[in-house]
Structure 1
Amino acid sequence: MLAEWRSVDVLVNNAGVARDGILAMFSDDDSDTVIDLNLKATVHVTKQVVRNMLAHGGGRIVNISSITGLTGYRGLSVYGATKAALDGFTRGLAREMGSRRITVNSIASGYLKTEMSHGLDDGQLDQIVRRTPAGRLGEPEDIARAVEFLVDERNDWITGQVLVVDGGLTA
């Protein structure tokens, strides 16, 4: 992958999968799927990209986590654990890379109109919208604007932070 480009300036770790269910009934396969994609793949890809960023004098890394990792939600304990781990990974890696001109931040996303929310029924979606001060589900563009902010070279003093972008749901 990296052989195609001379340098990588920005990495956004956005891949993710959720499986819901009460832990006592959760299959090992579902646990492995969530942990492997949400956490292990992020660590592996980041390791490869960081090597490139170190060789080329810096870069920006943004991990997309979730408010589920901050607050916890019934039926999403494994998913929430992986997203909380991403926030811890963000803080630790920011300390490792800060002196090397690499910033590392995380965006804890709220509920968005994406494939991951399609599994929710209308009643659940209405409840989320009612509880969200902004009065709507987020759009992918809401997260994209936050990513643009964090990767802007003028914001090189921001590192190791978890930016919550959730329409005020966790306020």
Structure 2
Amino acid sequence: MSRLVIVTGGSRGLGLAITRSLLEAGYSVSTCSRSLGDTLPGLLEVHPDRLFWQQADIGNAASTQAFIDATVQRFGAPWGLINNAGIAREGILATLPLVEVDHLIQTNLTGAIQVARGVLRHMLSRPGGGRIINISSIIGQRGYTGLAAYAATKAGLDGLTRALAREVGRRQITVNSVAPGYLDTEMSGTLSAGQRDQIVRRTPLGRLGTAADVAPAILFLLGNGGAYITGQTLTIDGGITC
């Protein structure tokens, strides 16, 4: 059986691109999201033996654990985890409702920790190590007006990456972050035309990124080339932070 990779939030955007790339590379994939989306049904038909989906809310511990349990029951212990699921909320911190702050933290940070904790219990039981990749953001490194709470959750993911890499390294499990820049996905849909133009002007490569720019880095870190890379944050942003 091919190696299993769990991808959270795999029904659209970057998560969907990662799921598709993994299937094309021969991996088995188990993914979850709050809704099935428009594209996953077709992929489930094409790859019925290597693709599994279950509805789950990463911000809910019971929902997350049910997804992990169902995955292991079907495929066995996973080789990799891509902590991709996340939400974005824009607003000046002084006026951002606390319920929105709590939702951001619960989904983007606590949820990722809960998934990693649940997956590691199975990953540690299998021989040969494994891979964990957290999808953070350049916002966690540089900040952006109106995204203070979101930035805090993404910076937290990078901290989780560094500490967890030390915890599980002796078991040959690598833990890294991938920090995309501004991608042309649904999550950037709230940007105005002026904001998008400004970002493009500030980016040395002269464009927004795409999910297809990020997926190859995920495949590299999952494969043999990533075997001696751990505790790192790989920035993929067209040079905007250089």
TM over 0.5: yes
Structure 1 residue 34 displacement after superposition = 0.6
Partner Cα separation in structure 2 for residue 41 and residue 142 of structure 1: 25
Question: SS of the counterpart of 2:94?
Answer: helix
Unaligned runs of 5+ in 1: none
Q: 1: distance between equivalents of 2:141 and 2:75? A: 35
> What letter matches 2:125 in structure 1?
A
Displacement after TM superposition at 1:3 (Å): 2.1
| TM-superposition CA deviations, 1:72-107 (whole Å, max 9, x none) | 111100000000000000000000011101000001
CA distance in 1, matches of 2:188, 2:225: 34
CA–CA distance in structure 1, aligned partners of residues 182 and 201 of structure 2 = 12
Instruction: Give yes or no for the alignment of 1:16 onto 2:16.
Output: no
Q: For residue 138 of structure 1, what is the amino acid of its counterpart?
A: G
1:98 is the counterpart of 2:98: no
Q: In the TM superposition, what is the alpha-carbon distance from 1:7 to its structure 2 partner?
A: 1.6
The 5 A counterparts of 1:119-130 are: 119-130=190-201
- Match status 1:142 vs 2:185: no
User: What residue number does 2:98 align with?
Assistant: 28
Secondary structure of the 1:135 match is coil
Residue 228 of structure 2, aligned match among 154, 157, 171? 157
User: 1:26 corresponds to which letter in structure 2?
Assistant: L
Relative CO higher for 1 or 2, CA cutoff 8 Å, sep ≥ 6? 1
Q: Answer 1 or 2: which has greater helix percent.
A: 1
Selected match of 2:181 from 110, 116, 126: 110
Q: Secondary structure at the match of 1:73?
A: coil
Q: TM-score, normalised by structure 2?
A: 0.69
Which of 114, 139, 158 aligns to 1:44? It is: 114
One-letter code aligned to 1:43: I
Q: Equivalents in 1 of 2:238, 2:228: separation in Å? A: 25
Shift of 1:153: 2.1
The residue aligned with 2:7 is: none
Corresponding letter in the other structure for 1:74: T
SS in 1 for 2:134: strand
What one-letter code is carried by the residue in structure 2 that aligns with 1:104? V
Q: Aligned partner of 1:33: which letter?
A: H
> Equivalents in 2 of 1:119, 1:70: separation in Å?
21
In the TM superposition, what is the alpha-carbon distance from 1:15 to its structure 2 partner? 0.6
1:142 aligned counterpart, secondary structure: helix
Instruction: Report deviation, 1:46.
Output: 0.6
Give runs of aligned pairs for residues 62-81 of structure 1, distance below 5 A. 62-81=133-152
Q: What value does the CA root-mean-square deviation take over the aligned residues?
A: 0.8
User: Percent identity over the alignment?
Assistant: 54
- Structure 1 residue ranges, 4+ long, deviating more than 4 angstroms after superposition: none
